[in-house]
Amino acid sequence: MSEVFGVRRGRLRDRCAATGSAGVLVSRPANVRYLAGGAPPGAVLLLGPGEDVLLCPRTPTGDPADGRPDEQLRLTVLPSSAGDPAVAAAELARTAGVESLAVEEHHLTVARHRAVGSVAPRLYLADLGLAVEQQRLVKDEEEIACMRIAAEIADQALGELLESILVGRTERHLALELERRLVDHGADGPAFATSVATGPNSGQGGHRPSDRRVEEGDFLSVCVGANYRGYRCEIGRTFVIGTTPADWQIELYDLVFAAQRAGRESLAPGAAYRDVDHATRQILDAAGHGEGVAPLTGHGVGLEIDEDPQLAPAAMGKLDACVPVTVEPGVHLPGRGGVRIDDTLVVRQEADGGPELLTITTKELLAL
């Protein structure tokens, strides 16, 4: 595995050298982790003309949630009086004779950027931009294997919840129980704050669990994901509580299901982001629900739960093979509730079987 990180760093270094920066300072945690194999809290990565160095504010604990730093990197633990590791990295770069250092202007605050610049007035700070994020877009098979395990864990946690008694329990409790089950099944933690929404709350993206209790006749929508070795996934499902769904519930469910399927089926290498969004969105639009649909109908996922690409009407770009994305349309009717269906899939060539569904819990409308 170790070689992978060296190759990733080499690609980034080449790219920056081509634009005139011999040094690169990576501070965004997911980017540090991608390039270094591990990102202890607060660590920054310096790619120099010489050795690559991971600067840590304290000794890494070996916690699997942080990952394990690549052994080919020099690991420097700073004394507790050293202050910001980014400033220490800039000093190191200057000492090594670097004249131009590319930094992540979308991650460093103005105050931190100024502190980094002040250690060496003649050190030019360039903007690395989203270079690492772009490199992270297409995943290798080891990354996808981690995401597959994360998805299995989420499927298991959700499956177990469905077997338990739900009526009378609060959204908060169901969310906490899901998170406990993720950990039981080997997750390093939840991939994001678990959302459980009942009755009038159901179908809202990102609803934060409240004290509302599950009632007979409710829609229950759940969005949950696991973090496994840093890689994340996302699954969202909507169920009906009680024996027989109402007609409006069946109708709304079928609509969102059709939209979600259209999105999934449009995933292919070369498909424009906006076309995938359009495939999903037009079905909801045509049924008169266009206005309430979220700005995105899906997004990339990997070391962060919300990565590029964005599947949105104005998004520019085309899918590649081995890009994992979510497809997650929803409709919420104020006062009544609604439906969200959300899968994590990996874009694959037609010859490789088309899009690979990672989250395999059934999308039939279950009455629980």
Residues near a copy of itself (CB under 8 A) are 61, 63, 65, 80-81, 105-114, 127, 172-173, 176, 179-180, 183, 204, 207-208, 210, 294-295, 314
Longest CA–CA separation in the chain, Å = 72
- Minimum CB separation of residue 41 from a copy of itself in Å reads 8
Say whether 91 sits in a helix, a strand or coil: helix
Measured CA to CA, the distance from residue 16 to residue 30 in angstroms comes to 19
Q: How far is the CB of 350 from a copy of itself (least distance, A)?
A: 33
The bridge status of strand 235-240 relative to strand 219-224 is: antiparallel
d(CA 256, CA 14): 45
- Asked if omega into 269 is within 30° of 0 (cis), the reply is no
Nearer to a copy of itself, 94 or 185 (CB): 185
DSSP 149-187: HHHHHHHHHHHHHHHS--TT-BHHHHHHHHHHHHHHTT-
- Which residues make Cβ contacts (< 8 Å) with residue 93, sequence separation at least 6? 23, 25, 46, 48, 101, 120, 123
Rounded distance between C-alpha atoms, residue 335 and residue 245, angstroms: 17
**CB of 240 or CB of 280, closer to a copy of itself:** 280
Minimum distance from residue 16 beta carbon to a copy of itself (Å): 17
Q: Give least dist CB 162 to a copy of itself, A.
A: 20
Q: Residue 36 or 174: which CB sits closer to a copy of itself?
A: 174
How near is the Cβ of 346 to a copy of itself at its closest, in Å? 27
Contact between residue 277 and residue 313 where contact means Cβ atoms under 8 Å apart: yes
Residue 127 or 320: the one with the smaller Cβ distance to a copy of itself is 127
Least separation in angstroms between residue 111's CB and a copy of itself is 4
The Cβ of residue 173 has, within 10 Å, a number of other Cβ atoms equal to 15
Structure tokens at 206: 């990102």
Q: How far is the CB of 64 from a copy of itself (least distance, A)?
A: 8
Strands 23-26 and 124-127, sheet pairing: unpaired
Is residue 16 within a helix (H) or strand (E), and if so which, with residue range?
helix 2-18
Nearest alpha carbon to residue 129 among 147, 113, 149, 106: 106
Whichever of 80 and 243 has its CB closer to a copy of itself, that residue is 80
Q: Which residues pair with 195 in a beta bridge?
A: 223
Shortest CB 129 distance to a copy of itself, Å: 9
188 three-state secondary structure: coil
Residue whose CB is less far from a copy of itself, 63 or 251:
63
3-class DSSP state of 281: helix
Q: Smallest distance, Å, CB 315 to a copy of itself?
A: 12
Specify the DSSP element, H or E, that contains 2.
helix 2-18
Interhelix angle 110-118/85-95, nearest 10 degrees: 30
Q: How far is the CB of 186 from a copy of itself (least distance, A)?
A: 9
